[in-house]
Amino acid sequence: MINRLLAYLGRHLDRQLLTLVSLLLVIGLITLYSASGTSLERVGAQLANISVALVVMWVAANVPLHYLSRIALPLYVLGLLLLVAVDLVGEIVNGAQRWLDLGFTRIQPSELMKIAVPLMLAWYFDRYEAVLKMSNFVVGAILLGVPVLLIAKQPDLGTALLVAAAGFYVLFLAGLSWKILIGLVVLGAASVPFLWSMLHDYQRQRVLTLLDPSQDPLGAGYHTIQSSIALGSGGLFGKGWLNGTQAHLDFLPERTTDFIFAVYGEEFGLLGNLVLLALFLVVIARGLVISANAPTLFTRLLAGAITLTLFTYVFVNIGMVAGILPVVGVPLPLISYGGTSLVTILFGVGLLMSIQTHRRLVQT
């Protein structure tokens, strides 16, 4: 009886993804326990976040694909409206206008766009699948560019880049011409000086700090220096769980959220890092496989974009902690403390599962 219920509940859940995600979540909880200074309260709160996110994942996995393509446009329009609303009446937190107060809760519309933009673009390209022309890519670029610019204006460069990346993956997978791609790269390189002048001071500082963290060891370079020390001092096998001095003596900033990987790397060393990288790699590989086997262009593009976005999160976060990318506010998927990120990521994972399982059902 119970077995049958479980089988029913799990019929749209991809075993492999579920196992990998569970492993990563457990690693995240273990690390969080250490990073929070053995705070069971923090771990409990994260467990609650995980529960909610798992439900979201389950729901997403059970949504039939045609429903999904139907909500793409409304979700995108809603997201856009909210972004405009934020621009007009948003709350200013930490000098950036990112939050929208709905009275009962505050939401960050830019977070929504991480899913809504690739969804919208995948839907759009799917619609014009048969006759994809240059003009479709121009429209796609505009669909992508508007929310990205709105988010960048908040200013939230990190999220803007992530949304841009998600959208770009759709464009790329949809078959954006190599000529244009190369042209974009050249254009991008050429516009660096212009972009530089557009950046806010703190954004420039982050980039400069990346080049030489020691210039401002107590200011902008502090994060990078301390996380490098944490990783480096971890060595091959790490200092052992709960023994990371950098974390436990408060040297690491934001060590339960954006910089949790530094805690992990300090306590579990190179070996631990290898395990974590491998797990993420397998998740990404699984996502790419799902994308490759997806039945429609819409699902293919969506699965590919979700998977590559997940990769981007992982790469940007770890790259930032390891000091090869500038410090941007990107949490490490499934590991960092925080509900929003978990829900977004697991929603994406749920979509992947849905694409995989509904295809299978269709086939059989």
Other Cβ atoms less than 10 A from the Cβ of 300: the count is 21
Q: How far apart are CA 100 and CA 3, in angstroms?
A: 43
Length of the chain: 364
Applying CB under 8 A, which of residues 36, 136, 205, 246 lies at the interface with other proteins?
246
Q: How many residues in the shown chain lie near other proteins by CB under 8 A? A: 45
Q: Is 311 an interacting residue with respect to other proteins (CB under 8 A)?
A: yes
Any residues with CB less than 8 A from the CB of 5 and at least 6 apart, and which?
none
Locate tokens 């830019």: which residue?
A: 110
Q: Is 180 an interacting residue with respect to other proteins (CB under 8 A)?
A: no
Q: Is 33 an interacting residue with respect to other proteins (CB under 8 A)?
A: no
Q: How far is the CB of 31 from other proteins (least distance, A)?
A: 16
Q: Is 137 an interacting residue with respect to other proteins (CB under 8 A)?
A: no
* Contact indicator for 259, 328 with CB cutoff of 8 Å: no
Applying CB under 8 A, which of residues 9, 138, 274, 362 lies at the interface with other proteins?
274
Q: Which of 191, 208, 330, 165 is nearest to 257 (CA)?
A: 330
Locate tokens 């397998």: which residue?
A: 282
Applying CB under 8 A, which of residues 36, 203, 209, 291 lies at the interface with other proteins?
291
Any residues with CB less than 8 A from the CB of 342 and at least 6 apart, and which?
49, 50, 52, 53, 334
Q: Is 188 an interacting residue with respect to other proteins (CB under 8 A)?
A: no
Helical H segments across 191-296, by residue range? 192-198, 201-211, 222-234, 245-248, 260-293
Complete DSSP assignment for 138-161: HHHHHHHHHHHHHHHHTT-HHHHH
Query: Which stretch in 28-36, 119-127, 145-153, 244-252 sits in contact with other proteins by CB under 8 A?
Result: 244-252
Q: How far is the CB of 272 from other proteins (least distance, A)?
A: 10
Applying CB under 8 A, which of residues 318, 328, 343, 355 lies at the interface with other proteins?
318
* Contact indicator for 46, 39 with CB cutoff of 8 Å: no
Binding mask 41-60 for other proteins (x = CB under 8 A): --------------------
Other Cβ atoms less than 10 A from the Cβ of 241: the count is 15
Segment 202-241, which members bind other proteins (CB under 8 A)?
Answer: 226, 228-236
Other Cβ atoms less than 10 A from the Cβ of 341: the count is 24
- Closer CB to other proteins, 13 or 276, in the complex: 276
Q: How far apart are CA 180 and CA 131, in angstroms?
A: 18
Q: Is 62 an interacting residue with respect to other proteins (CB under 8 A)?
A: no
Q: How far is the CB of 273 from other proteins (least distance, A)?
A: 5
Applying CB under 8 A, which of residues 40, 85, 93, 277 lies at the interface with other proteins?
277
Q: Is 28 an interacting residue with respect to other proteins (CB under 8 A)?
A: no
Q: How far apart are CA 350 and CA 115, in angstroms?
A: 12
Applying CB under 8 A, which of residues 33, 124, 169, 264 lies at the interface with other proteins?
169
Positions touching other proteins (CB under 8 A) are 129-130, 169, 172-173, 175, 226, 228-236, 245-246, 249-251, 265, 269-270, 273-274, 277, 280-281, 284-285, 288, 291-292, 297, 300, 304, 308, 311, 315, 318-319, 322-324
